[in-house]
Amino acid sequence: MTRKLFIKTYGCQMNVYDSARMADLLAPMGYAPIDEPEGADLVILNTCHIREKAAEKIYSEIGRLRRLKEERAATGAKMLIAISGCVAQAEGEEIIRRAPAVDMVVGPQAYHRLPEMIARIERGAGRVLETDFPPEDKFDRLPTGTSSQKGPAAFLTVQEGCDKFCTFCVVPYTRGAEFSRPVAQIEAEARRLVEAGVRELSLLGQNVNAYHGEGEDGEAWSLARLIRRLAAIEGLERLRYMTSHPRDMADDLIAAHRDIEKLMPYLHLPVQAGSNRVLAAMNRGHTADDYRRLIARIREARPDLALSGDFIVGFPGETDKDFEATLRLVEEIGYAQAYSFKYSRRPGTPAAASAAQVPEEEKSARLTVLQDLLARQQRAFLESLLGRTLPVLFEHAGRHEGQLVGRSPYLQPVHVSAPSALCGRIAQVRIERADTNSLAGTLAGERVAAE
């Protein structure tokens, strides 16, 4: 019997990975994914708790789903609603209390139990809440299928959780303690994905460069060593990793950017702020100058590296002078692209209790200034690529007839008129146009990498 499954994913790439695994997990029970909640037998909201807005969205979405569920019930059909991800972990009991339409709440480390949870509900056992750690269990029990994989670029979670406890952040509470998957398990998953047509792998973790999974020699392998191993897989053309912490940017990982051709010249390395006082209050464990020196070393190893980052403005106690230090750092470093946010007060985190909260208008004003600067830098970076010929991995058809969309080594989408047979392959493209967030160009000649 085919049943319809709708999954809506919020938040980071790790949630995207988890949503794909949930789809794989439910496929043997007859659940096939659909693109709209209408007509679904099961709806999963895979949620994010990182900022207040993200979490609040979930309750309004549940409200909309409740109406769909009632309409469906009126026709004698059922629609189960599951809340997974970081809001589920942080506010599980509250969801059960506040939202009677929700049948299941499952945390990020417990979603491998979804099939048995569904079975329990179908037996009439009532609503279920599962928010147990630890992740070892989950990764051992996830299915090995790749049925949800679409296209040649895939995410692969190698590390999960965080022990850093930045004072603004919920992740250590929602994802739990840091955990690294064993090398052999990751390699097996990577090989399955490559067999399914994947050419580019992004290794994921909240703190991916803190990776220290067990290798077959019984030792803890670094991320660089893992990358080296995966780079040897034939058919795999590109590797990336995200998100990294400046404190864990080890020498061997910097060297990997120089030595491993398949490792793409792109690095997401958030600094959050440019003032040492704010960095200390955030518990980031490094200064702005440490970051500057680190970037200089990485650029020495890989001069064409495109840098990305995250910034928070209006952290409690941030003065105009502190904010100016952030602008100065951004000016000096030069980002190819970056994300920036207003500080959001998260319940249970140390910074939320500070009496020195920055007024909302101030945060908005600072964010506008920072985002203008980052947008100018992004524009400059994209324009620097004009006239260059870059290898592009084509991922899917574009909006226009005869167009394909791929990714440059620096991660921007590139729009090109190209035969659909090139989908899943790498071709050289001459870059001719830079838009706000993407590039466009024409095919430059022979394919560089065949299947």
CA distance 428 to 434: 17
Q: Which of 19, 47, 148, 206 binds ligand SF4 (CB under 6 A)?
A: 206
- Residue window 156-185: x/- pattern of binding to ligand F3S, with contact defined by CB under 6 A: --------------xx--xx----------
Q: Does 172 bind ligand SF4 (CB under 6 A)?
A: yes
Instruction: Pick what 49 binds: ligand SF4, ligand SAH, ligand F3S, none; C-beta below 5 to 8 Å, kind-dependent.
Output: ligand F3S
C-alpha span between 197 and 150 (Å, rounded)? 9
- CB–CB of 221/209 below 8 Å? no
Q: Where are the beta strands (DSSP E) in 210-273?
A: 238-242, 266-268
Is 50 a binder of ligand SAH (CB under 6 A)?
A: yes
Contact between 139 and 129 under an 8 Å Cβ cutoff? The reply is no
Give me the DSSP letters along 279-314.
Answer: HHHTT-SS-HHHHHHHHHHHHHH-TT-EEEEEEEES
Sole binder of ligand SAH in the list 266, 343, 381, 394 (CB under 6 A): 343
Q: Which of ligand SAH, ligand SF4, ligand F3S, none does residue 51 bind (CB under 5 to 8 Å by kind)?
A: ligand SAH
For residue 243, is the peptide bond before it cis, meaning its omega torsion is within 30 degrees of 0? yes
Residue choice 43, 81, 128, 169 for contact with ligand SF4 (CB under 6 A): 169
Tell me which of 11, 135, 398, 406 binds ligand F3S, using CB under 6 A: 11
From ligand SAH, ligand F3S, ligand SF4, none, interface partner of 84 (C-beta below 5 to 8 A by class): none
Which of 78, 127, 164, 396 is close enough to bind ligand SF4 by CB under 6 A?
164
Q: How many CB atoms lie within 10 A of CB 436?
A: 8
| Binding partner of residue 48 among ligand F3S, ligand SAH, ligand SF4, none, CB cut-off 5 to 8 Å per kind | ligand F3S
Contacts of 384 (CB under 8 A, 6+ apart): none
- Cα–Cα dist 122/254, whole Å: 52
The single-letter DSSP state of residue 270 is -
Whole-number Å distance between alpha carbons of 173 and 170: 5
The answer for residues whose C-beta is within 8 angstroms of residue 143's C-beta and 6 or more apart is: 21, 24, 25, 27, 28
* Candidates 168-176, 216-224, 291-299, 361-369; binding stretch for ligand SAH (CB under 6 A): 168-176
Q: Residue 382 CB, nearest distance to ligand SF4 (Å)? A: 27
Binding mask 211-250 for ligand SF4 (x = CB under 6 A): ----------------------------------x-----
Torsion of CA 317, 320, 322, 328, to 10 degrees: 160
- What lies within 8 Å, CB to CB, of 35 at 6+ separation is 6
Binding mask 81-120 for ligand F3S (x = CB under 6 A): ----xx----------------------------------
DSSP state of 361: H
**Looking at beta carbons, which residue is closest to ligand SAH?**
310
Residue 83 CB, nearest distance to ligand F3S (Å)?
Answer: 13
Two tokens, residue 422: 């090139």
| Residues near 321 by beta carbon (within 8 Å), at least 6 away in sequence | 275
The answer to whether 15 contacts ligand F3S (rule: CB under 6 A) is yes
171 binds ligand SAH, rule: CB under 6 A: yes
Q: How far is the CB of 310 from ligand SAH (least distance, A)?
A: 3
Distance in angstroms between the alpha carbons of the first and the last residue of the chain: 36
* The pair of three-digit structure tokens given for residue 302, joined into one six-digit string: 């890989």
Can you tell me the distance from the alpha carbon of 61 to that of 84, in angstroms, rounded to the nearest whole number? 13
Applying CB under 6 A, among 162, 269, 271, 330 the residue interacting with ligand SF4 is 162
The sign of the dihedral angle between the CA atoms of 65, 70, 74, 77 is positive
- Per-residue x/- track, 242-281, ligand SAH (CB under 6 A): -x-x------------------------x-x---------
Note the residues at the interface with ligand SAH (CB under 6 A): 50-51, 168-169, 171, 206-207, 243, 245, 270, 272, 310, 312, 341, 343-344, 346
Note the residues at the interface with ligand F3S (CB under 6 A): 11-12, 14-15, 48-50, 85-86, 170-171, 174-175, 206
Note the residues at the interface with ligand SF4 (CB under 6 A): 162, 164-166, 169, 171-172, 206-207, 245
